[in-house]
């Protein structure tokens, strides 16, 4: 939903994994906490809502209805140890108050989390690798993901799963004005930075459909 804060300040970074001409990195990461990664089924929304800390299932149902998909990592008992969402085409990034729009052959991973008992045990990297492998099998040529610049655990997970940093983003809203700056990461091609900027251009997506695209 629209932000009610009088001001906003966000510093993030977008990463990408280009699969157009090569297979994803080999899935060799073995987490300290053994998990099985799979796509979540809509009929498992109650367990997913509990893992996400939601008291109702309306938001999960809205995401599934909009075409977003969710992947989960399960421990040996079947309990959810971590989760991550993926969208094709368009997804709203609540922190930046705009949508991220992509071509049909690209995907955006968002709202990922590892539950507290499983953190720092490699679950997040294993989940990302499983999502990358599944998307590659569907013919996706590029996968995007983003995080706060201060979220070191997520950034380490991105790198271990084969992603490369593309651009830093700074968003400011104050006194009714909104500004977004994009700065290329070292050695990133200007064309890829331009694609990132185009994906973030404000368009027809309504703020009423905003969702928080946080990666933790």
Is residue 19 in some structural domain? yes
Is residue 166 in some structural domain? yes
Is residue 78 in some structural domain? yes
CB atoms within 10 A of CB 136: 17
Is residue 61 in some structural domain? yes
Is residue 34 in some structural domain? yes
Evaluate if residue 85 carries a pLDDT over 90. yes
CA distances from 12 to 63, 151, 196 (A): 23, 9, 13
Is residue 214 in some structural domain? no
- Reported confidence tier of residue 4, pLDDT bands at 50, 70, 90: low
pLDDT > 70: percent of the chain: 86
Evaluate if residue 215 carries a pLDDT over 90. no
Per DSSP bridges, beta strands 177-184 and 98-101 are unpaired
Domain count, the chain: 1
Give burial (CB, 10 Å; 0-12/13-18/19+) of 119.
middle
Which token pair is 41? 């089924």
Residue 202 domain boundaries: 8-209
Residue that wins the pLDDT comparison between 154 and 208: 154
Which domain CATH number covers 135? 3.40.630.30
What does the pLDDT read at residue 23?
59
- Reported confidence tier of residue 22, pLDDT bands at 50, 70, 90: low
Is residue 117 in some structural domain? yes
- Reported confidence tier of residue 104, pLDDT bands at 50, 70, 90: very high
Is residue 123 in some structural domain? yes
Minimal CA–CA distance to 101: which of 204, 212, 207, 3? 204
CB atoms within 10 A of CB 23: 10
User: 161-214, pLDDT tens digit by residue?
Assistant: 999 999 999 999 888 788 999 999 999 999 999 999 999 987 533 333 333 333
User: 134-152, pLDDT tens digit by residue?
Assistant: 999 999 999 999 999 889 8
What does the pLDDT read at residue 212?
35
Overall pTM surpassing 0.75 (yes/no)? yes
Cβ contact 115:81 at 8 Å: yes
User: 63-82, pLDDT tens digit by residue?
Assistant: 999 999 999 999 999 999 99
């Amino acid at each position: 939903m629209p932000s009610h804060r009088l001001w906003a300040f966000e510093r993030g970074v977008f990463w990408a994994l280009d699969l157009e001409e090569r297979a994803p990195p080999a899935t060799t990461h073995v987490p300290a906490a053994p998990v099985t990664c799979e796509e979540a089924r809509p009929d498992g929304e109650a367990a997913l809502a509990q893992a996400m800390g939601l008291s109702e299932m309306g938001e999960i149902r809205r995401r599934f209805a909009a075409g977003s998909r969710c992947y989960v990592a399960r421990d040996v008992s079947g309990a959810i140890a971590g989760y991550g969402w993926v969208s094709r085409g368009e997804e709203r990034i609540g922190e930046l108050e705009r949508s991220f729009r992509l071509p049909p052959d690209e995907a955006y991973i968002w709202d990922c989390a590892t539950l507290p008992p499983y953190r720092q045990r490699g679950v997040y990297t294993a989940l990302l690798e499983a999502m990358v492998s599944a998307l590659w099998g569907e013919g996706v040529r590029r996968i995007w993901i983003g995080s706060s610049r201060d979220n070191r655990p997520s950034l380490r997970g991105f790198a271990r799963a084969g992603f490369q940093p593309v651009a830093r983003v700074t968003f400011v809203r104050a006194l009714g004005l909104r500004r977004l700056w994009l700065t290329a990461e070292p050695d990133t091609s200007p064309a890829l930075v331009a694609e990132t900027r185009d994906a973030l251009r404000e368009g027809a997506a309504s703020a009423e459909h905003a969702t928080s695209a946080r990666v933790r």
